[in-house]
Amino acid sequence: MLDVSDAAIITKKPPRKNTLSRDERKVRAAFIVPAVIYLMFMSIFPFIYSVYLSFYQAKLTRLHKKFFIGWDNYKQLFSDEVFLAALKNTFLLTTSSIILEVVLAFICAKVFLSLKEQRVGYFLRSMSILPMMITPLCVALIFSYIMNPTLGILNYILSGVGVEPISWFGNPNLALWTIVFINVWQWTPFMMLLMLAGLVSIPTSLYEAASLEKARWWHVARWIELPAIRDVILIGVILRVIDNLKLFDLVYITTRGGPGDRTELLTFFTYRQDFAFFNVGYGSAAAVVILVISIIVTTIAVGFLRKMQNA
């Protein structure tokens, strides 16, 4: 029989050793180092260089003749009427798009939830996510043809009911809302998938209890569904805010920021400063402002998400 000392020797854990050999560590480094180098040169270095250029008056064609001006680029930005218009348009686009996407996505998710046991529900759900599979560039080209004021099929259909041709992208009062409509059309399926995943995870017992209490649909939505998927909604909102802050393709193809500055966005303003006017110092300052806004919005949203999870 084993005595206590023998049992202690047997149960004692052997000292931990480094299981990776020297060759294995070299192989691991060989896989990691290229990714780190790529990240440094494609992400970190351009960011640092943009911040550096934002403190200089610099032309893209004469970078060797740049000179330091401190915060003057940033001061000029916030007195630039075009930049302020771009800031306002980006805010309107982001808030209106996200509100419409959340509302429409919740309605669509409820419809697909009711059809989850039917074969047609799988087909419709697969068809509904097609818009988000198309690249924004192609979406912009498609709608530029559909909404063409003279040759577009949309105006042709409206003319059949007596509506005069509408300049969707040329009307100062409609241009931005046309961009919002296209943006919502493409990205509502993304929000719908997130909400549908959250709704599917809700226990059926809660719905049964609500049915026994004869709760209306708005009671179920207010007290059961929305609280259950609020974290999912907030994550989707964070991602969509970041997407809208870097929206560029749609405006570039359809309106080029016009008419006037009615669809000028922060990204398009930065692009024009850098590659149309060659003011890379001024454009870099605008890019830094976009980054700062993104960080602030994301930090606030993540803090709010953590607060809700701990509540």
pLDDT tens readout for residues 132-168? 999 999 999 999 999 999 889 999 999 999 999 999 9
| Average pLDDT score, the chain | 89
pLDDT surpassing 70 at residue 277: yes
Residue 279, SS3 per DSSP? strand
152 contact partners, CB below 8 Å, separation of at least 6 = 145, 146, 168
Domains and CATH numbers, the chain: 80-310 (1.10.3720.10)
Give helix 266-275 / helix 81-114 axis angle, nearest 10°: 130
| CA angle in degrees (0–180, nearest 5) for 141-145-148 | 130
Regarding predicted confidence, which is higher, 141 or 3?
A: 141
pLDDT surpassing 50 at residue 8: no
Q: Render pLDDT for 231-267 as a digit per residue (tens, 0 to 9).
A: 899 999 999 999 999 999 999 999 999 899 999 999 9
Contact 246, 290 (CB under 8 A): yes
Regarding predicted confidence, which is higher, 309 or 129?
A: 129
Helices (H), the chain: 4-11, 22-39, 45-53, 72-77, 81-114, 119-128, 130-133, 136-146, 153-159, 175-200, 204-212, 217-220, 226-245, 249-254, 266-275, 280-310
DSSP letter, residue 67 = E
Q: Render pLDDT for 22-43 as a digit per residue (tens, 0 to 9).
A: 878 888 888 888 888 888 888 8
Q: Render pLDDT for 56-104 as a digit per residue (tens, 0 to 9).
A: 999 988 888 899 999 999 999 999 999 999 999 999 999 999 999 999 9
DSSP letter, residue 223 = I
Contact 187, 104 (CB under 8 A): no
Q: How far apart are CA 154 and CA 167, in angstroms?
A: 11
Q: Render pLDDT for 93-135 as a digit per residue (tens, 0 to 9).
A: 999 999 999 999 999 999 999 888 788 888 888 899 999 999 9
Residue 20, SS3 per DSSP? coil
Q: How far apart are CA 309 and CA 306, in angstroms?
A: 5
Regarding predicted confidence, which is higher, 154 or 44?
A: 154
